[in-house]
Structure 1
Amino acid sequence: MENLFSFYGYRFHWLNILDLAIVIFLVVQLYRLLKGSLAFNIFVGLLIIYLAYFVVQHLQMPILSTLLQSFINVGLIAIIIIFQPEIRKFLLVLGKKAPLSKDSFFTKLFLPDKFKSYKEEENIINEVITAIARMAGSRTGALIVIANTYRVKFDTASSIAIDSNINAKLLESIFCKGSPLHDGALIIVGNKILAAKVILPVSENPNLPTRIGLRHRSAVGITEHSDNLALIVSEETGAISYAQDGNLVQDVSLEELKVKMYEVMVDGY
């Protein structure tokens, strides 16, 4: 009995509180994982269906209850199929990061924000945004891939290794039309420019806009099966776009791009 306590007439066991706290924690982390993606809208739709099932069951509506029960019975398999990229992304974070490193998944989850320092990430973001703003103004085509959790795999035969600190002027010079490195993508891993003139896999998604070129399709292709963020500057119009999780978001502002980079590099998952 010492493990029970009352609240407004209801009696709770301490394990009930722990159970509720764990569920809330998992929901918050699930929201952080899915926020800003199409999968989040799908998740909300599935949640509404589950809530509707409990409502119609309580109202004793047998036909709807049967239909929704049939859906729920195969719900787990459906969720695995629909959220395959997000599940893969979550497992990559767990498997590729050392559990006790300062950038590990568990550190990001449990370390209070006030103890985190993101000065390096903020500096990188500012340098990249500065370069993209200038390249957009001069209509200099660019494709920058930010690998967040592991080294992106690409064809090393055509690429040029750089291993340099990230600097706005260096980024501009690489994509300058007279530069021998301006064709292909530039890869950023951590706080370093890893390589330039990188040939990326081209997406074969038929739903992409027909007017986009090879640069945009390559950006989508490199993000379809990884957690990379690809930033694109159009050579024809100077418009800024980004690709993430196989989705292309076009004509974004510098502020929107900066927010997205913060989500990937600072907020994490």
Structure 2
Amino acid sequence: MREVFKFYGYEFRWLEVLDLLIVVFLVIQLYRLLRGSLAFNIFVGLLMIYAAFFMVRALRMPILTNILQNFINVGLIAIIIIFQPEIRKFLLVLGKKTPLSKDSFLTKLFLPDKFKSYKDEENIINEIITAVGRMMGTHTGALIVVATTYRLKFDTASSIPIDANVSAKLIESIFNKHSPLHDGALIIVGSKMLAAKVILPVSENPDLPTRVGLRHRSAVGITEHSDNLAIIVSEERGTVSYAQDGNLTQDVSLEDLKVKLYEVLIDGYA
């Protein structure tokens, strides 16, 4: 097998072609990851700087080459800082697809959980579904975040700690229109409701429908960079939606929501 081939008079090694294809693949994946966010403009700007660096180096312009070289060397640290949320999201998605993730074949083979009892998880699901169903009937707006793989980091300055067991009646009382806690989100981790009136980051995704409000955009925002499920009850229409992995699914039935909660909270259903 030849290690070198010619193309329009130029000679290329197969490894050079493979190197180029890998770079193109990574750039495409970065484009898909950053598309629709403010970080995309920063990404385009960095590409322009790199293109300018290679151009001035090819033209043998030493002053500009040194300036851009130093900028690129320092820029690697800046990239990590600027793109911290995007890097975290990329690693989160990558971790889900590894052979050792919780839904992988190897994990299920060597760590079987078929004898595990899911009574606690089923009780939590039933309490959430009961509360959501009642709030839909009364057009009570609500935003509930169900944290899955780790403790969710949120703004503790404005939130109110609760630390109570998941209860449908308590959820309804929190989001009652006359309750001082109804603004913001309710955070559920495991079997506990940790805090209410939590301010969440608002998504800047321009692809979201224009008619969605702050609750829906906050739900998408908290799931863009974390492995959580956000449930939204619309105050205007009395419908329920959920956000996961930065994607918004609108106007779902209670049965569909229950299936999604099973997927999130109970191993083996995903």
Q: State the TM bucket, normalised to the shorter chain.
A: 0.5 to 0.7
State how far apart, in whole Å, the 2-side matches of 1:104 and 1:70 are. Answer: 32
* Aligned amino acid, residue 210 of structure 2: T
Aligned residue runs from structure 1 range 152-167, under 5 A: 152-167=152-167
TM-score normalized with structure 1 length: 0.64
Identity among equivalent positions (%) equals 69
State how far apart, in whole Å, the 2-side matches of 1:210 and 1:73 are. Answer: 37
Question: Over residues 193-225 of structure 1, what are the superposed CA-to-partner deviations in whole Å (9 max), with x where a residue is unaligned?
Answer: 000000000001011000011010000000000
Q: What is the RMSD of the two structures over their aligned residues, measured on CA atoms?
A: 3.1
1:77 aligns with 2:47: no
- The higher radius of gyration belongs to 2
State how far apart, in whole Å, the 2-side matches of 1:185 and 1:193 are. Answer: 11
1:266 maps to what in 2? Answer: 266
1:34 maps to what in 2? Answer: none
State how far apart, in whole Å, the 2-side matches of 1:141 and 1:204 are. Answer: 21
Aligned residue runs from structure 1 range 31-180, under 5 A: 73-74=22-23, 77=26, 81=30, 85=89, 87-89=91-93, 91=95, 110-180=110-180
Is the Cα–Cα contact under 8 Å of residues 145 and 230 in structure 1 kept in the other structure? yes
Question: Over residues 73-129 of structure 1, what are the superposed CA-to-partner deviations in whole Å (9 max), with x where a residue is unaligned?
Answer: 5576368645774642454899xxxx9xxx999866633342122111111001000
For this pair of structures, how many residues does the alignment match? 195
2:218 maps to what in 1? Answer: 218
- What is the Cα deviation at residue 70 of structure 1? 9.4
Is the Cα–Cα contact under 8 Å of residues 92 and 227 in structure 2 kept in the other structure? no
Aligned residue runs from structure 1 range 196-211, under 5 A: 196-211=196-211
1:253 aligns with 2:253: yes
Is the Cα–Cα contact under 8 Å of residues 229 and 244 in structure 2 kept in the other structure? yes
Is the Cα–Cα contact under 8 Å of residues 220 and 247 in structure 1 kept in the other structure? yes
In structure 2, stretches of 5+ residues that fail to align are 1-17, 34-86
State how far apart, in whole Å, the 2-side matches of 1:107 and 1:192 are. Answer: 27
| Partner SS, residue 262 of structure 1 | helix
Question: Over residues 13-52 of structure 1, what are the superposed CA-to-partner deviations in whole Å (9 max), with x where a residue is unaligned?
Answer: xxxxxxxxxxxxxxxxxxxxxxxxxxxxxxxxxxxxxxxx
Is the Cα–Cα contact under 8 Å of residues 148 and 265 in structure 1 kept in the other structure? yes
1:63 maps to what in 2? Answer: none
In structure 1, stretches of 5+ residues that fail to align are 1-68
- What is the Cα deviation at residue 189 of structure 1? 0.6
State how far apart, in whole Å, the 2-side matches of 1:135 and 1:184 are. Answer: 16
| Partner SS, residue 128 of structure 1 | helix
